[in-house]
């Protein structure tokens, strides 16, 4: 943490975080000719539905 490059990077941290955003989305459809494999092909996560009572 005392390395000069680390200190210089920390000074500029606000610049690289400016405009940062996280998007959480649910895919409800996929369209295309499947000529290019999807980057997450083969990775499966269980579907989590929001609790309507919360």
Mean pLDDT by 10 residues, the chain (54 residues): 90 80 84 81 70 69
Half-sphere exposure of 1 (CA within 13 A, CB side): 0
d(CA 50, CA 45): 15
pLDDT at 15: 80
Q: Considering the entire predicted model, what is its pTM?
A: 0.31
Instruction: Please name the residues in contact with 13: beta carbons below 8 A apart, sequence gap of 6 or more.
Output: none
pLDDT at 5: 92
pLDDT at 3: 94
pLDDT at 22: 85
pLDDT at 54: 63
């Amino acid at each position: 943490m005392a390395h000069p490059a680390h200190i210089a990077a920390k000074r500029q941290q606000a610049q690289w975080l400016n405009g940062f955003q996280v998007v959480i989305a649910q895919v409800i459809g996929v369209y295309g000719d499947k000529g290019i494999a999807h980057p997450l092909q083969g990775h499966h996560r269980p579907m989590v539905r929001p609790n309507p009572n919360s």
